[in-house]
A and B are shown apart, each in its own frame.
Chain A
Amino acid sequence: MNYKPPVTHVLPLTTIHREWVLPTPGTIIVRVNEQVYPHDIVAEAERPVRHVILDVARALNVPADLVSRHLLCEVGDRLTAGDRIAMGKGWLKRTVRAPDNGRVVAISEGRVLFEVLGKPYELQAHFPCTVVDTDGVQKVTVETTGSLIQGVWGNGKRDFGVLKMVAGGAGGLMTPDVLDIDLRGCVLVAGSCNQAAPLHQATELNVRGLILGGLSAGLISVARRLDYPLLVLEGFGEFAINQAAYELLKSNEGKEASLDGTPPQSYGYQRPEIIIPISSTRFQDIPEEVVPLSPGVRVRVVRQPHMGDVGVVRELLTRAVSYPNGNIARSARLDLEGAGSVSVPLANIEVIQ
């Protein structure tokens, strides 16, 4: 049996490569081998915010095919708000001006398509790292060493701050009374959360992020509206953080961590993750993405009744196992911390590495 389950990384020290990509080609600000810090801008690109069609023919009261005689700009020209785009002839000299800062993207049938440009799109480094590669126009690859913990869900936000354990223990419930002014600007770690009040209160404390084992699914829409990143490590419901991740987070309390709350994608590589940069003088292995299930491999269960339990594979069972609800499934015998030896369907197992 050659089963390769999904892999979740919970690594104390590893080499981490991340590729940051601009949505459109732009300017790369950093050089290869340059050291950068979390809030440094590594690349930027123009960001069109809207388009405006300017009917020059109508504004100047000229036929569409004669508009070109009145134009003062060409496709690709950058203009600032108020710059002249076209001007009529005669004593009245009607003028068409740029409605905002932007550029001319098309001219057709007496009309000008104008792209209004907003604040540039800026790519930050997100954590202290070294630039190792760039294509010069759109992509920057960075490298660091440190701890890596992957989650299962995130609210799409990113930030960087000092790790602080709250709510007491891997399964501690996040309530308003665990939050105080000392946590301002920190990345908080708690077991689970089933009410909106502490999430809003954390906003007022200007926290930099929240890491949870479980979140009530009813709070997903609240979580998406938060200003700070919220990462869920186990799933939706009242789940404690798995022991491997909790111990790693606890051992790094007081250090700075980068939170990336990008939600997982069905056909993509990206997952929500926590990176805790730790300098290392020795080369650290890059995490393995494919690990065949075999005896001795460290795993986590992702389904009840052992949701979040961590252990090792004792044996891959050759015969399918029948479970209490009547389902029959190919399974493995696991030695789970705190739960002993249990059979778990292969489909309900992830490798932790």
Chain B
Amino acid sequence: MSIESETDTLLTVDVGSVNTRACLFDVVEGGYRLVAVGRAPSTVGPPLFDAREGVGMAVGQLQLITGRMLIDETNTLIKPIRLDGSGVDAFAVSTSAGPSLRTVLVGLMPGVSLDSARRLAASSYMKVVVEVSLLDRRREEERIDAILDSNPHLILIIGGTDGGANASVLRLVETVRLALGMMPEDRLPHIVYAGNQQLLSSVSEILHGFPSVSLMPNLRPTLEHEDLAPTRMRLAEVISDLRSQHVVGYEALKEWSEGSLMLSSDALSRVVSYLCEVHAHDKGVLGVDLGASHTTIAAALGGQTHLTVCNDLGLGVSLPGLLKHRSISDITRWLPFELPESVVMDYIFSKALHPRTIPTQLDELYIEFALARELVSTALSEARLTWPSTTSRGDTLMPPMEPIVAGGSVLSRAPSLGHAALTLLDAVQPVGVSKLVLDPSNLASALGVSASLIPMVTVQVLGSGSFINLGTVITPIGSGRSGRPMLRYILEREQKGVVLDGEIKWGQLAILPLNQSEVGRLTIRPSRGVDIGFGILGKGGRLRVVGGAVGLIIDGRGRPLRLPSDPVQRTEQIQGWLWNIGVRD
């Protein structure tokens, strides 16, 4: 049985804080394909302060590329498609641009309900500015002052298992009410209550008269059970409302998309969940989006997708936030040359002032890659706090992930795919057998938002080669002295009938020739104490591997990756790795 879709042509737009991308999908030879991508600077900020301008420019570029009219003479999207072929059948928008939601968390216990609320806040564009809890040592009036001073967009009240504490929760709600009573009407925040369900009518009564109060199912109905999904959906709407107020053009985009407007982070999460279903293996799937204002990590593990949005980590305005987590020497250690730390410090703060600028000099390019490594690695550390503890190996190693899909301007405009691959390898430090995939056009957002309109677009485009497969990565685990044998391999390239064999030493990063989509059989014989992922230390085996744009990568540098402390040795080491992965500056 065939399923016919009434919708052939889909236009998606992703509005980021720096770039706006428009993607056109159409049916080609019986399946949905990406036809073209248009890019333009985002215009949510100065000088235009209207998101529609950037969207118009990106769609205008699509028109130039495809020769197809998408916007009419009145600057309105042509929808549905006309007989002359102009226009589109469907339009969807994802966005990460706009201010983060200043959020006050009010909860009973720091280790229970507040932990759940923190996880919820970390999964979206929310910035926790104040926390109030039962164990708070501040006096009630000091808590009120803290809430007032923080000028919040949102107050999220949680706490109390269903049927649990009553009086304590209501006392906290009463504190919130007193604070709300002193706020000007035009600055009243949204209130979301997601605590003890037996108190809904009492909470509703206490907060009666305040305009934006949402009563949601309990985030933590029992001590053991956490349910973030319903409140997360409500918060996505609150964020959308806030952005409608602060970003000109946002409301119009909502109207054009007829409600198909999604947060970019949720779109990435949806694609990662889908990939996890498709691969159906016992590993996880990882999605990384390194943006100018946020770094987003989506990890599908054990049937659940964990989303983390780091609002203080990005390669633009939020770049100085990295220094709260990492020192300058953590960043400079990735440079293939020596550079005074003050230069990198100046670079970080200047880039935050001019987030849309791009480097044209070699030293600046490598500073950006060094920053990208630390941003992703820091975001992963934050994200792993929310992952199930059973997935972390020895607390420091990544759980096995395949594929690892990464996007972001610094990676997609890298002068060579080797730069992108090495940056990802160093930042994520995958273990076992994995696959690195680059999302050069930020398609993950487009496909995530498409899934709600035309699910087949997501399914078919993901399998169509619009992403760049950088290569399969094999990362043995163990410990050995640099230069000592780690494993022997035999690679049979199926299509060319060529057999390669050789040895990988500890500390070596090797690239074996296996082209994009080329299939090979890899036989590995590890040394004693080396774990390839076959279940037992030192056990070898045979793997079917698929090549990539960089090749087949065997990363013998060990996990966690340790760099020489001597600066001269370290820069030589990094230059060597760059050379090995095919970078020829």
Main secondary structure of the interface of A (DSSP, over half): loop
B144 near A327 (CB under 8 angstroms)? no
Bound complex: CA of A48 vs CA of B148, how far in Å?
10
Bound complex: CA of A344 vs CA of B141, how far in Å?
56
Whether, in the assembled complex, A329 has its beta carbon less than 8 Å from a beta carbon of chain B, the answer is yes
A237 near B354 (CB under 8 angstroms)? no
Whether, in the assembled complex, B41 has its beta carbon less than 8 Å from a beta carbon of chain A, the answer is yes
Residue of A nearest to B43 (CB): A4
Residue from the list B144, B174, B354 in contact with A303, Cβ < 8 A: B354
**Contact of A304 with B57 at beta-carbon distance under 8 Å, contacts A216-B342, A266-B99, A347-B356 already known:** no
- Which residues from chain B contact A269 at a C-beta distance below 8 Å? 46, 49
- Which residues from chain B contact A326 at a C-beta distance below 8 Å? 365, 415-416, 585
A-B contact pairs, 9 of them (CB 8 A): A109-B174, A216-B346, A217-B342, A217-B350, A236-B345, A289-B47, A302-B354, A303-B360, A305-B361
Chain A, residues 262-274, CB within 8 Å of chain B (1/0): the string is 0010110100000
Whether, in the assembled complex, A224 has its beta carbon less than 8 Å from a beta carbon of chain B, the answer is no
- For chain A, the bracket of interface size reads 35 or more
Bound complex: CA of A5 vs CA of B181, how far in Å?
43
**Contact of A105 with B181 at beta-carbon distance under 8 Å, contacts A53-B141, A325-B359, A325-B360 already known:** yes
- Which residues from chain A contact B57 at a C-beta distance below 8 Å? 2
Chain B, residues 87-114, CB within 8 Å of chain A (1/0): the string is 0000000000011000000000000000
**Contact of A325 with B364 at beta-carbon distance under 8 Å, contacts A236-B350, A269-B46, A347-B358 already known:** yes
- Which residues from chain A contact B46 at a C-beta distance below 8 Å? 6-7, 269, 289
- Which residues from chain A contact B361 at a C-beta distance below 8 Å? 304-305, 323-325
Q: How far is the CB of A178 from chain B (nearest CB, A)?
A: 21
B140 near A53 (CB under 8 angstroms)? yes
- Which residues from chain B contact A218 at a C-beta distance below 8 Å? 342, 345
Residue of A nearest to B350 (CB): A235
**Contact of A264 with B360 at beta-carbon distance under 8 Å, contacts A115-B182, A269-B46, A326-B365 already known:** no
A324 near B360 (CB under 8 angstroms)? yes
Whether, in the assembled complex, B48 has its beta carbon less than 8 Å from a beta carbon of chain A, the answer is yes
Whether, in the assembled complex, B362 has its beta carbon less than 8 Å from a beta carbon of chain A, the answer is yes
Whether, in the assembled complex, A108 has its beta carbon less than 8 Å from a beta carbon of chain B, the answer is yes
Bound complex: CA of A220 vs CA of B352, how far in Å?
13
- Which residues from chain A contact B145 at a C-beta distance below 8 Å? 50-51
Bound complex: CA of A264 vs CA of B346, how far in Å?
17
Whether, in the assembled complex, A106 has its beta carbon less than 8 Å from a beta carbon of chain B, the answer is yes
Q: Footprint of B on A, CB under 8 Å? A: 2-7, 24-25, 48, 50-53, 105-106, 108-109, 113, 115, 152-153, 216-218, 220, 235-237, 264, 266-267, 269, 289-291, 302-305, 323-329, 344-345, 347-348
Q: How far is the CB of A54 from chain B (nearest CB, A)?
A: 9
CB-contacts of B150-201 with A (<8 A): 174, 178, 181-182, 184
Residue of A nearest to B318 (CB): A266
Bound complex: CA of A51 vs CA of B139, how far in Å?
10
Chain B, residues 357-400, CB within 8 Å of chain A (1/0): the string is 11111101100000000000000000000000000000000000
- Which residues from chain B contact A4 at a C-beta distance below 8 Å? 43, 47-48, 53
Bound complex: CA of A269 vs CA of B48, how far in Å?
10
Residue of A nearest to B61 (CB): A1
- Which residues from chain A contact B144 at a C-beta distance below 8 Å? 51, 113
Closest 8 CB pairs of A and B: A326-B415, A237-B346, A323-B360, A217-B349, A325-B365, A236-B349, A235-B350, A236-B346
**Contact of A303 with B349 at beta-carbon distance under 8 Å, contacts A267-B99, A289-B47 already known:** no
Whether, in the assembled complex, B484 has its beta carbon less than 8 Å from a beta carbon of chain A, the answer is no
Q: How far is the CB of A98 from chain B (nearest CB, A)?
A: 14
A347 near B353 (CB under 8 angstroms)? no
Residue of A nearest to B343 (CB): A237
Residue from the list A105, A235, A290 in contact with B353, Cβ < 8 A: A235
A267 near B98 (CB under 8 angstroms)? yes
A348 near B357 (CB under 8 angstroms)? yes
Whether, in the assembled complex, B413 has its beta carbon less than 8 Å from a beta carbon of chain A, the answer is yes
B99 near A237 (CB under 8 angstroms)? no
**Contact of A348 with B416 at beta-carbon distance under 8 Å, contacts A237-B350, A264-B353 already known:** no
Bound complex: CA of A50 vs CA of B144, how far in Å?
9
**Contact of A327 with B358 at beta-carbon distance under 8 Å, contacts A289-B47, A290-B48 already known:** yes
A152 near B45 (CB under 8 angstroms)? no
B359 near A327 (CB under 8 angstroms)? yes
Bound complex: CA of A282 vs CA of B416, how far in Å?
57
Bound complex: CA of A290 vs CA of B43, how far in Å?
11
Q: How far is the CB of B186 from chain A (nearest CB, A)?
A: 10
Whether, in the assembled complex, B246 has its beta carbon less than 8 Å from a beta carbon of chain A, the answer is yes
Whether, in the assembled complex, B348 has its beta carbon less than 8 Å from a beta carbon of chain A, the answer is yes
- Which residues from chain B contact A325 at a C-beta distance below 8 Å? 359-362, 364-365, 415, 585
Q: How far is the CB of A115 from chain B (nearest CB, A)?
A: 7
A52 near B45 (CB under 8 angstroms)? no
Q: How far is the CB of A118 from chain B (nearest CB, A)?
A: 13
- Which residues from chain B contact A237 at a C-beta distance below 8 Å? 343, 346-347, 350
Q: How far is the CB of A82 from chain B (nearest CB, A)?
A: 19
- Which residues from chain A contact B184 at a C-beta distance below 8 Å? 24-25
Whether, in the assembled complex, B269 has its beta carbon less than 8 Å from a beta carbon of chain A, the answer is no
- Which residues from chain A contact B181 at a C-beta distance below 8 Å? 105-106
Bound complex: CA of A290 vs CA of B317, how far in Å?
22
Most chain-B CB neighbours within 10 Å: which of A4, A6, A115, A327? A327
CB-contacts of B325-359 with A (<8 A): 342-343, 345-350, 353-354, 356-359
Beyond A4-B53, A51-B148, A303-B357, 7 additional pairs, beta carbon < 8 A: A25-B184, A105-B181, A216-B346, A289-B47, A304-B364, A325-B362, A326-B585
Whether, in the assembled complex, B121 has its beta carbon less than 8 Å from a beta carbon of chain A, the answer is no
Whether, in the assembled complex, B17 has its beta carbon less than 8 Å from a beta carbon of chain A, the answer is yes
Whether, in the assembled complex, B44 has its beta carbon less than 8 Å from a beta carbon of chain A, the answer is yes
